[in-house]
A and B are shown apart, each in its own frame.
Chain A
């Protein structure tokens, strides 16, 4: 929990990791990819405040104690959602598997929610694995990384018939939340890898599932917003938005937040630190203090304490059924949360 000026914020970090990208874990012959991946993440960290930068050695693989201190002790997080990214083609034991996350979660009861994953290219074996994972980890959410390489394939889309089979199975097994991360390499390469239209189709066809688009579809924020404004079950995951822009690019942060608040609305935006790319502490503190810097943003929806409460924790708490202490709930819980501006757009949008 974070407290500022007498206001209390329940913090759910809805997108964070516990990876092992150390050179010992790089697959022989794939070192360039393994190194390229973690170096790229490390460069992203440089967009945060200088005092929060880590050495590359620390960044390759942080310890359990580091994570617990950075996220919970110093970072104000009440509940953290582990999102796996397997990348077993490049990392021998995986980059960040559900198993690795769950081992840590078991040692700290009540602190974490462990999410799983699936990959439609794994077929029947993947379905069986998903069933086992749900039984073992009580999964309520999964993270999809559509650009993951697998046996010569360079990615997949949520629109693939095989993906629909996995979405149906997820729903049947009680999974509610589908976190999607678009990446830079996908089949077929002559199309835009960051296109989010497949999420649009899946969200329409699976209205009872929630689709949280991580990194708000970056670098296709506009496509994401046009889609999210029409799909009630599509959410904006703010990982990278706060971490990558708030400190390094404050003007663009304000514009991107303004657009998201307008098109998607404050009820469908969720905070994620993307640890250990960035630590949550400065992100939470900075976001609670944040407002638009100046008049040129005056036609974007306003932000207040309740906006920030929702984004930092209450929205994700709702998605995952996390109980929120009374002192952190909305000042006026009876009031409809949707901002007028967004409602106006939804009513009139022809996008």
Chain B
């Protein structure tokens, strides 16, 4: 892999599967990533099944296009989705820089912003569980958690990820912000509502991680090869 290709792959690390909230690279979705000497970048994206949801597939291809195009030294970008029932519509739409509704003429009323927001909210809930579960395991009570701010926690990749998702949504994400907030309003969750809230955050995380795990199984069955930047899951 050339230096340029490594840079493009690093840019693709910022592209996430919106449903799973994981980078398309580590999931194994990048089947190839090449950059020619004069700056033509070509990315091939693959998914676990022929019928994976086309709206999320579109977002991943569009985001990949944007991320790769922004890399210094890349003159031309091509991102193609392979082996998918909607490959043609998606690849055509991206190549033409058309929006989602235009790419799926007659099948969509609008763009995908709202859908994406819904899933970032889920990512905030799941991320909250990742950060809180170790605290509970270490003996903190839910009443303790209700008092904590983000700044009270030691830095960790999970905390950084949670802050980033909260910032994406415009929710409070600074050191003074409450650790536990409503994913829609950003209001702190009171001690009384906290036990149920934590049940919800755990369920949301279980759902996303179980789906991610199943997707990896299906992808591996479908292709049997490692993707560029793929990282095996820890079961």
> Footprint of B on A, CB under 8 Å?
32-33, 36-37, 39-40, 43-44, 46-47, 152, 154, 183-185, 187-194, 218-222, 225-226, 244-245, 248-249, 251-252, 255-256, 259, 262-263, 345, 348-351
Contact = CB atoms under 8 A, between A and B. Distances in A.
A184 B213 CA distance: 18
Interface of B: 19, 49-55, 85, 100-101, 104, 106-112, 114-115, 118, 122, 193, 196, 199-200, 202-204, 206-207, 209-211, 213-214, 217-218, 221-222, 235
A255 B210 contact: yes
A350 B85 contact: no
B203 A245 contact: no
Contacts of B106: 152
A192 B213 contact: no
A255 B111 CA distance: 34
A39 B52 CA distance: 13
B51 A244 contact: no
A33 B85 contact: yes
A37 B109 CA distance: 26
B107 A188 contact: yes
A249 B207 contact: no
A242 to B, nearest CB: 13
A348 B194 CA distance: 12
B114 to A, nearest CB: 8
B207 A221 contact: yes
Given A40-B49, A193-B53, A256-B210, A188 B109 contact: yes
Main secondary structure of the interface of B (DSSP, over half): helix
Contact of B109 (A183, A190, A220, A226): A190
Contact of A46 (B85, B101, B221): B221
Contacts, number: 119
B112 A190 contact: yes
A233 to B, nearest CB: 21
B210 A249 contact: yes
B109 A47 contact: no
B207 A219 contact: yes
A170 B107 CA distance: 29
A189 B193 contact: no
Nearest to A221: B207
Nearest to A240: B214
B210 A194 contact: no
Contacts of B104: 189
Contacts of A251: 235
B112 A47 contact: no
A244 B53 contact: no
14 contacts: A39-B50, A183-B51, A184-B54, A190-B55, A221-B211, A222-B203, A244-B214, A249-B217, A251-B235, A255-B206, A255-B209, A256-B207, A256-B210, A349-B196
A221 to B, nearest CB: 4
A218 B206 contact: no
Given A32-B85, A190-B110, A185 B207 contact: no
A184 B51 contact: yes
A222 B200 contact: yes
Contact of B100 (A187, A190, A259): A190
B221 A252 contact: no
Nearest to A263: B203
B39 to A, nearest CB: 34
A345 B106 CA distance: 42
B196 A345 contact: yes
A190 B111 contact: yes
A191 B202 CA distance: 24
A249 B200 contact: no
Given A36-B85, A47-B217, A259-B203, A221 B210 contact: yes
User: Which of B52, B122, B204, B214 is the most central at the interface, judged by chain A CB atoms within 10 Å of its CB?
Assistant: B214
Contacts of A252: 206, 209-210, 213-214, 235
